[in-house]
Amino acid sequence: MRHHSRLVRFAWIVSLCLLAVPFIFPFLWMISGSVKGQAEIFAPGLTLIPEVFRWENFAEVFSYQPFARQYVNSLYIAVVVTGLTLIVASLAGYALARVRFAGSGLLLLILISALMMPEEVTIIPNFFLMRDLGLMNTHAPLILLPVFGSQGVMATFLMRQYFTAIPKELEEAARMDGLSRLGIFWKVALPLSRPALAAVGIITFLFSWNLFLEPLVFLSDIELFTLPLALSNFTDAYGLPLWHLQMAATSLAVIPILVVYITAQRQIVESFALSGVKG
Amino acid sequence: MRTAIPATLSLRTREALTGWLFVSPITLGFLIFFVGPLIAVFGYSLTEWNLLSQKSTFVGMQNYADALGRNPDFWHVTRNSLIFAAGLVPLNMGLALYLAVALSRPFRGVVAFRTIFFAPVVTAAVAWAIVWTFLLQGEQGAVNQALALIGIDGPNWLREPSWAMAAVIVTRVFKTVGLNMILYIAALQAIPRDYEEAARLEGASGWQIFRMITWPLLAPTTLVIMVITVVGSLKVFDHIYLMTGGGPENGTLVLAFYIYEQGFKFFDTGYAAALAVILFVLIAVLTIGQVILRARSERA
């Protein structure tokens, strides 16, 4: 915006501020709703700060359904999915970038062709597969499908791209010292690829944390629910949403992620820029 | 010599073995949880199979004939999916480009703006959809209250067929536009400054520079973003599930949601599988189309 006149620049800033409203206001209204009572939540006047703070909303979230348990479920599944994906994707990505073996080109091609395929295409056979494996109503599908589906493939592809860009000379030297392939991978390539590991880790964690279709299809026991499934579950006897609880629960799920995002903004945005594949 | 040849051979074999060992976890998992199911879904689509009765009979192309011919729902759903894509893609890409142009160069507050526009990308789609459903409630919803302040009597957004689709599209754009914005910013920052300086010395206006220099140089990025966004719009599920449930009057019933409904609510496995195959073909054609387009534009 260097060359613009003051007026033009002012117009740009005003337009950005106006456009920012639908991006900020939902978060503010969510937080505001989380401390309002049922009566005040739809009161006219658009007041962000309620007359009476109803902190009990948060307590009720936990008594209405096993929310703490569901929170832990989401957290541990995301950690396991991220860990497994990093192992599987960095191993395969390294081999596809560096190791010469018959069929590697074909394998890469097959994997790339799956990058864009959404889980909706394979969800029906996967339902029967998981049923036959006795994994219905367990967390296993929520771990296996992201790690080995198109999300895992994307992670592998990103790791491969990164390993390809590392200078070969660094590995040659290690090889001269008598290191095995696994040794080179572990001691040379992996430490050098920390930025890629961080990026893949961030994207994978959020992908798992936000997963909705799989929990919906595979889980029926409320104790096993993950957050996205639990969030929409705060309804009264007639199935109508209890908005104050819904907002409190959503705030509890969203705010920690937002805090991490704001502190590590640059790193997280760059991770997504690197991927450029999912949306 | 005699020992040298087997030694190199075994080295190469060892290398190949290592390679396969390294890729074996993803390859095995991918075969079991992706390739297998992909083949299976083709198989299922040729059967009449009800999940409840557990009976499966081979019916050939009957499910496809049902979808394309007899069942009026299918064309209605396809039409909805196309409307959704036709609304979302230009809006999303246009807004992303506008934001990227505004935010690609440093000024005070640029990081704050980028952080704001990208925030919904890291937020769970479910959370975003729930909060917007709350905002878009009939009379007492925040959006309509705000509109009332300027004298507009807002509709019951998610309950009126003519408005529900628009509401879902726009809120989905807000959710995902940040990602495209970031991709555009990266592309804009990669364009050498000299081009613009030179054009400016020639007396070109800002708009002319954008049209004649920036926009053509962004073409590869635009193509990538377009495919991501089109595919993303075809697989939209959680927004629909949470905001409208496909309603009102099936006005927002889109393909991905229809597959879920047929397969897991009405237990019509064969028909749902045929729909999944159709979605697969649609996305495959779009992806391959993009690769061809890109190759052609690179040759030109």
Q: How many domains does chain A have?
A: 1
Q: How many domains does chain B have?
A: 2
Per the DSSP assignment, residues forming a β-bridge with B50 are B55, B268
Among A46, A261, A244, A277, CA closest to B120 = A261
Q: Are residues B165 and B218 in the same domain?
A: yes
Interchain contact, B126 vs A102, CB within 8 Å: no
Interchain contact, A121 vs B279, CB within 8 Å: yes
Minimum mean pLDDT range among A259-268, B98-107, B196-205, B285-294? B285-294
| Residue B153: strand, helix, or coil | coil
How far out from the chain centre does Cα B269 lie?
A: 25
The H or E element containing residue B56 is: strand B55-58
Closest Cα of chain B to A91: distance in Å? Answer: 5
| Chain B residues touching A128 at Cβ < 8 A | 40
Give the pair of three-digit tokens for residue A113. Answer: 């062709």
Report the distance separating Cα A237 and Cα A38, nearest Å. Answer: 15
Domain annotation covers residue B6: no
Report the distance separating Cα B95 and Cα B229, nearest Å. Answer: 13
Q: Return the C-alpha torsion angle B282, B287, B293, B296, nearest 10.
A: -130
Q: Are residues B54 and B69 in the same domain?
A: no
| Chain A residues touching B131 at Cβ < 8 A | 26-27, 29-30, 247, 250
Instruction: Provide the CATH number for the domain around residue B294.
Output: 1.10.3720.10
Domain annotation covers residue B3: no
Per the DSSP assignment, residues forming a β-bridge with B286 are none
Q: Are residues B193 and B241 in the same domain?
A: yes
The H or E element containing residue B55 is: strand B55-58
A277, B228 in Cβ contact below 8 A? Answer: yes
What are the φ and ψ backbone dihedral angles of B268, each rounded to 5 degrees? -95, 80
Per residue in B82-124, pLDDT (tens digit) is 999 999 999 999 999 999 999 998 888 899 999 999 999 999 9
Q: Return the C-alpha torsion angle B52, B54, B60, B62, nearest 10.
A: -20
Closest Cα of chain B to A141: distance in Å? Answer: 10
Domain annotation covers residue A154: yes
Among A117, A104, A61, A111, CA closest to A242 = A61
Q: Are residues B186 and B132 in the same domain?
A: yes
pLDDT over 80 at B6, yes or no: no
| Chain A residues touching B113 at Cβ < 8 A | 16, 20
Per residue in A106-122, pLDDT (tens digit) is 999 888 888 888 889 99
Q: Are residues B31 and B84 in the same domain?
A: no
| Chain A residues touching B183 at Cβ < 8 A | 273, 276
Domain annotation covers residue B42: yes
Report the distance separating Cα A100 and Cα B13, nearest Å. Answer: 10
Domain annotation covers residue B188: yes
Domain annotation covers residue A103: yes
Facing residue for B41 by CB, picked from A101, A124, A149: A124
B50, B269 in Cβ contact below 8 A? Answer: yes
Instruction: Provide the CATH number for the domain around residue A158.
Output: 1.10.3720.10
CA torsion through residues A187, A188, A192, A198, sign: negative
Domain annotation covers residue B52: yes
Q: Are residues B52 and B69 in the same domain?
A: no
pLDDT over 50 at B3, yes or no: no
Report the distance separating Cα A216 and Cα A229, nearest Å. Answer: 7
> A-B interface: how many C-beta pairs under 8 angstroms?
278
| Residue B224: strand, helix, or coil | helix
| Chain A residues touching B102 at Cβ < 8 A | 1, 12, 15-16
pTM score, whole prediction = 0.92
As a whole number, mean pLDDT of residues A140-159 equals 94
Task: Name the residue range of residue A264's domain.
Answer: 64-274
Minimum mean pLDDT range among B45-54, B134-143, B245-254? B45-54
Domain annotation covers residue A123: yes
**Residue of chain B whose Cα is closest to the Cα of A270:** B182
Q: Return the C-alpha torsion angle A229, A232, A237, A241, nearest 10.
A: 180
**Residue of chain B whose Cα is closest to the Cα of A160:** B23
Domain annotation covers residue A26: no
A209 touches chain B (CB under 8 A): yes
Interchain contact, B29 vs A182, CB within 8 Å: no
pLDDT over 60 at A2, yes or no: no
| Chain B residues touching A149 at Cβ < 8 A | 30, 33-34
Report the distance separating Cα B171 and Cα B150, nearest Å. Answer: 21
A9, A1 in Cβ contact below 8 A? Answer: yes
Among A256, A174, A115, CA closest to B290 = A115
Per residue in B209-224, pLDDT (tens digit) is 999 889 999 988 898 8
A152 touches chain B (CB under 8 A): yes
Facing residue for B33 by CB, picked from A145, A206, A261: A145
Domain annotation covers residue A179: yes
Percent of chain B surpassing pLDDT 70: 95
Q: Which residues contact A15 (CB under 8 A, 6 or more apart)?
A: B102
- Residue A277 confidence class, pLDDT cut points 50, 70, 90: very low
B64, B74 in Cβ contact below 8 A? Answer: no
First vs last C-alpha separation in chain B: 52
Domain annotation covers residue B5: no
Per residue in B29-65, pLDDT (tens digit) is 999 999 999 999 999 999 888 766 677 788 888 889 8
Domain annotation covers residue A159: yes
Provide the chain A residues 88-117 that lie in CB contact (below 8 A) with chain B: 88-89, 91-92, 94-96, 99-104, 107, 110-111, 113-114, 116-117
**Complex ipTM > 0.90:** yes
Report the distance separating Cα A70 and Cα B90, nearest Å. Answer: 38
Provide the chain A residues 239-268 that lie in CB contact (below 8 A) with chain B: 241, 243, 246-247, 250, 253-254, 257-258, 261-262, 265, 268
> How many CA atoms does the CB half-sphere of A15 hold within 13 Å?
12
Provide the chain A residues 153-192 that lie in CB contact (below 8 A) with chain B: 153, 156, 181-182, 185
pLDDT at B57: 81
Q: Are residues B267 and B290 in the same domain?
A: yes
Report the distance separating Cα B161 and Cα A150, nearest Å. Answer: 34
A233 touches chain B (CB under 8 A): no
**Percent of chain A as helix, strand, coil, to the nearest 5:** 70, 0, 30
Q: Which of B98, B128, B130, B234 to mutate to test the interface with A (most CBs of A within 10 A)?
A: B130
Q: Are residues B28 and B143 in the same domain?
A: no
The amino acid that residue B111 corresponds to is V
Domain annotation covers residue A246: yes
**Residue of chain B whose Cα is closest to the Cα of A17:** B113
Q: Are residues B36 and B170 in the same domain?
A: no
Task: Name the residue range of residue B21's domain.
Answer: 11-58
Q: Which residues contact A43 (CB under 8 A, 6 or more apart)?
A: B140
Q: Are residues B275 and B231 in the same domain?
A: yes
| Chain A residues touching B273 at Cβ < 8 A | 124-125
Report the distance separating Cα A86 and Cα A269, nearest Å. Answer: 19
Domain annotation covers residue A44: no
